[in-house]
């Protein structure tokens, strides 16, 4: 066929599609934005990390649970905004969502079917979550996560387990500790009204030094977001924190920090006193794990309270980890020479 | 940063209005800025002896690069931050690139009169929506890419929300500013992981900039 007629045919097709004449346009050859197919090495990388982490969790006494991908909207109400979730109605018109998080469904499970089980409950999971991200942001909406929830009882031990995750994954990492009750207690001690406290919290959370300096607030709030790094942070903070409660809270965090530093040699463990309760359910120690080459934390967790349930847990972003490891082999076909016995 | 073998700090700099002031700031910090003075079509510049790379990009791309961590640091206007949001640390107000978001209407028009739904044209539709939501007002928002001042003159909109520097463009076109939404200036933003993983290098840049702000 001469080339010009191919071009013409394409143009006609385009024009017809554009003007709705071709109303049979199907999306049968693409995946929805924010999702992807995983091939060969990508699958192997993901399954390997999943298997390694799940066997780590199970070796520490955690039992795996699977919750439905679809949950009622109400499970996540108060913690996620409508815009963050994929939604659809059930047959009775009740609103369902694709779970944007695994923690809240597991708490639902703990408060219902596992209500009478002895505490602490040690649960772990390996499942995907969905977040409705702004379009064309270059981030996945479908995220595979492995994580644990320790429900009831002491949360001691989960920090070491979180650090173990990085030992298992390998690579250069930093593990960061904070306590969201440092900010909330300070706000209370300086009698900051809730509306202003939320404004200050957001500025502390985003380390907006200029924004904080411009406000008429006690100097401690300007210093708080700068208090991150290694051991020296505690020395600085000890001079700034005035009350008994604050000093005690700092000492408690320092004990946890020192203990963890003994467990992991080197400068891997850091502290950020400016971490605040962003997600809305954390109640004490919170922590983030950063890995070199990743634009956001690959592990997040902390102590939290949902309803009447006190628990602690963390989640690891498996999608990010598996996609960025082994980039050079991306999509490489793994078993290329396998043919059916008896085939032609 | 995965593609940065030298482990340098990479700074994303907003092309255009903020560029000149930013380069002046770098000069004050005694960085070698000769590469910027004769830049041609290059998009990436090395700052010798600092182990720093500077990337020139459009405002929204600065946010994207910093959010994804392919750039550690960004210099970008508050207007872009307000419109597009995102997750990064917004550490410093750089003080230059000052202007404001304002609501403007045809001279003498009473925007808030009557109970009909008003139409507002803007390039900054998110900022506009949030502003009117905060007033519990339903408005129709029309996205205009170019000179927004045209929209009320052509009768498409009752008002516009736009960046206003001196207000002379408004005046020359028979419009007037009736309300300020927010003050705007250039900001220093940092990727959340870089801030922690490269603390010493980033701290050095932040304090260097802080010392040289006028």
CATH code, B76: 3.40.190.10
Q: Are residues B32 and B107 in the same domain?
A: no
Query: Sheet containing A87-89: which strands, arranged edge to edge?
Result: A70-72, A95-98, A87-89
Locate A242 and state its tokens: 């005035």
**pTM confidence score:** 0.84
Report CA torsion sign: B4, B5, B9, B10.
Answer: negative
Taking each helix axis from N to C end, the angle separating A180-189 and A244-263, rounded to the nearest 10 degrees, works out to: 170
Contacts 24+ apart (CB under 8 A), B166-171: B167/B102, B170/B104
Q: Are residues B103 and B179 in the same domain?
A: yes
Of B69, B70, B89, the CB nearest to A207: B89
Contacts of B193 in chain A (CB under 8 A): 290, 294-297
Nearest CA in chain B to A324: B2
Q: Are residues B30 and B58 in the same domain?
A: yes
Locate B126 and state its tokens: 């998110």
Of A138, A208, A295, the CB nearest to B91: A208
User: A207 vs B87: CB contact, 8 Å cut-off?
Assistant: no
Question: Does some domain include residue B2?
Answer: no
Taking each helix axis from N to C end, the angle separating A158-169 and A244-263, rounded to the nearest 10 degrees, works out to: 40
Mean pLDDT of chain A: 88
Domain boundaries, chain A: 1-30, 37-329
User: B199 vs A294: CB contact, 8 Å cut-off?
Assistant: no
pLDDT on residue B2? 41
Q: In angstroms, rounded to a whole number, what is the distance separating the alpha carbons of residues A131 and A98? A: 8
- Report whether B66 contacts B73 (CB < 8 A): yes
Q: Are residues B163 and B92 in the same domain?
A: no
Q: In angstroms, rounded to a whole number, what is the distance separating the alpha carbons of residues A272 and A299? A: 15
User: A293 vs B2: CB contact, 8 Å cut-off?
Assistant: yes
Nearest CA in chain B to A296: B193
Sequential pLDDT tens for chain A (344 residues) = 555 677 777 777 777 666 666 566 788 889 999 999 998 888 999 999 999 999 999 999 999 999 999 999 999 998 999 999 999 999 999 999 999 999 999 999 999 999 999 999 999 999 999 999 887 778 899 999 999 999 997 777 899 999 999 989 888 899 999 999 999 999 999 999 989 999 999 999 999 999 999 999 999 999 999 999 999 999 999 999 989 999 999 999 999 999 999 988 778 999 999 998 766 788 889 999 998 888 889 999 999 999 889 999 999 999 988 887 655 454 444 444 444 555 44
In this structure, the number of other CB atoms found within 10 A of the CB of residue B66 comes to: 29
Q: Does B197 touch chain A (CB under 8 A)?
A: yes
Contacts of A327 in chain B (CB under 8 A): 2
Full domain range(s) for residue B32: 9-97+185-211
| B12: nearest Cα among B76, B80, B68 | B76
Q: Are residues B69 and B112 in the same domain?
A: no
Q: Are residues B93 and B128 in the same domain?
A: no
Q: In angstroms, rounded to a whole number, what is the distance separating the alpha carbons of residues A2 and A261? A: 72
User: B193 vs A296: CB contact, 8 Å cut-off?
Assistant: yes
Let me know if A167 is exposed, middle or buried by CB neighbors in 10 A (0-12, 13-18, 19+): exposed
- Report whether A207 contacts A274 (CB < 8 A): yes
3-state SS record for B5-44: CCCCEEEEEECCHHHHHHHHHHHHCCCCCHHHHCCCCCCE
Q: Are residues B92 and B110 in the same domain?
A: no
Query: From residue A342, how far is each of A81, A334, A335 by CA, in Å?
Result: 56, 22, 18
| CATH 3.30.830.10 correct for A37-329 | no
User: A208 vs B193: CB contact, 8 Å cut-off?
Assistant: no
Q: Which of residues 267-286 of A touch B (CB under 8 A)?
A: 270, 272
Q: Are residues B51 and B77 in the same domain?
A: yes
Query: What proportion of chain A, given as a percentage, has pLDDT over 90?
Result: 67
User: B190 vs A207: CB contact, 8 Å cut-off?
Assistant: yes
pLDDT on residue A137? 79
Q: Are residues B191 and B89 in the same domain?
A: yes
User: Is the pLDDT at B3 greater than 60, yes or no?
Assistant: no
CB pairs under 8 A between A and B: 59
Non-local CB neighbours of B165 within 8 Å, separated by 6+ positions: B98, B99
3-state SS record for A213-281: HHCCCCHHHHHHHHCEECCHHHHHHHHHCCCHHHHHHHHHHHHHHHHHHHHCCCCCEEEECCCCCCCCC
Q: Are residues B195 and B147 in the same domain?
A: no
Q: Are residues B93 and B139 in the same domain?
A: no
Q: Are residues B92 and B133 in the same domain?
A: no
Query: What proportion of chain B, given as a percentage, has pLDDT over 70?
Result: 97
Question: Does some domain include residue B4?
Answer: no
Q: Does A149 touch chain B (CB under 8 A)?
A: no
| A143: nearest Cα among A282, A321, A280 | A321
Question: Does some domain include residue B178?
Answer: yes
Q: In angstroms, rounded to a whole number, what is the distance separating the alpha carbons of residues B62 and B52? A: 16
Tell whether ipTM is more than 0.95: no
- Phi and psi, residue B117, nearest 5°: -75, 125
pLDDT on residue A3? 59
Quick one: CA torsion of A225, A229, A232, A237, rounded to 10 degrees? Answer: 20
Q: In angstroms, rounded to a whole number, what is the distance separating the alpha carbons of residues A214 and A289? A: 31
Report the number of distinct structural domains present in chain B. 2
Question: Does some domain include residue B173?
Answer: yes
pLDDT on residue A27? 87
Q: Does A232 touch chain B (CB under 8 A)?
A: no
pLDDT on residue A20? 64
Q: Return the SS3 of B115.
A: coil
């Amino acid at each position: 066929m001469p080339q010009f007629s191919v071009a013409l045919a394409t143009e006609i097709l385009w024009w017809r599609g554009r003007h709705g004449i071709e109303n049979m346009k199907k999306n049968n050859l693409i995946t929805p934005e924010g999702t992807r197919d995983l091939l060969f090495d990508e699958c192997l990388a993901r399954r390997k990390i999943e298997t390694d982490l799940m066997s780590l969790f199970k070796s520490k006494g955690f039992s795996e649970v699977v919750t439905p991908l679809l949950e009622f909207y109400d499970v996540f109400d108060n913690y996620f905004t409508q815009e963050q979730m994929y939604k659809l109605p059930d047959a009775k018109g009740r609103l369902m969502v694709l779970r944007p998080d695994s923690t809240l469904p597991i708490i639902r499970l703990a408060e219902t079917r596992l209500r009478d089980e002895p505490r602490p409950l040690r649960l772990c999971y390996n499942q995907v979550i969905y977040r409705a991200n702004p379009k064309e942001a270059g981030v996945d909406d479908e995220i595979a996560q492995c994580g644990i929830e320790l429900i009831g009882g002491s949360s001691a031990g989960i920090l070491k387990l979180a650090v173990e995750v990085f030992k298992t994954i390998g690579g250069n990492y930093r593990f960061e500790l904070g306590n969201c009750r440092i900010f909330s207690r300070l706000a209370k001690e300086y009698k900051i009204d809730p509306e202003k406290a939320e404004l200050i919290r957001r500025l502390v959370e985003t380390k907006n030094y200029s924004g904080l300096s411009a406000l008429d607030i006690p100097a401690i709030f300007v210093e708080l977001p700068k208090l991150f790094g290694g051991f020296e942070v505690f020395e600085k903070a000890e001079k700034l924190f005035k009350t008994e409660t604050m000093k005690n809270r700092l000492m408690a965090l320092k004990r946890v920090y020192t203990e963890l530093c003994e467990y992991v040699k080197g400068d891997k463990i850091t502290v950020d006193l400016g971490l605040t309760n962003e997600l809305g359910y954390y109640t004490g120690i919170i922590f983030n794990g950063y890995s070199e080459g990743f634009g956001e934390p690959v592990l997040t967790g902390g102590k939290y309270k949902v309803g009447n349930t006190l628990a602690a847990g963390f989640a690891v972003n498996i999608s990010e980890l598996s996609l960025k490891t082994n980039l050079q082999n991306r999509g490489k076909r793994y078993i290329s020479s396998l043919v059916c016995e008896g085939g032609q | 940063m995965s593609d940065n073998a030298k482990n340098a700090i990479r700074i994303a700099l907003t092309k255009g209005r903020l560029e000149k002031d930013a380069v002046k700031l770098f000069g004050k910090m005694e960085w070698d800025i000769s590469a910027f003075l004769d830049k041609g079509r290059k998009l990436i510049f090395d700052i010798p002896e600092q182990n720093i790379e500077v990337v020139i990009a459009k405002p929204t791309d600065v946010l994207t690069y910093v959010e994804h961590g392919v750039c550690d640091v960004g210099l970008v206007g508050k207007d872009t931050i307000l419109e597009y949001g995102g997750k990064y640390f917004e550490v410093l107000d750089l003080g230059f690139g000052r202007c404001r978001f304002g609501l403007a209407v045809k001279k003498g028009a009473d925007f808030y009169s009557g109970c009909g739904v008003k139409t507002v044209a803007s390039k900054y539709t998110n900022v506009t929506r949030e502003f009117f939501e905060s007033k519990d007002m339903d408005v129709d928002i029309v996205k205009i890419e170019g000179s927004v001042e045209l929209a009320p003159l052509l009768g498409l909109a009752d008002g516009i929300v736009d960046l206003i520097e001196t207000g002379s463009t408004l005046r020359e076109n028979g419009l007037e500013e009736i309300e300020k939404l927010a003050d705007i200036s250039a900001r220093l933003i940092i990727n959340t992981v870089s801030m922690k993983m490269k603390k010493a290098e980033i701290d050095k840049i932040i304090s260097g900039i802080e010392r040289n702000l006028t």
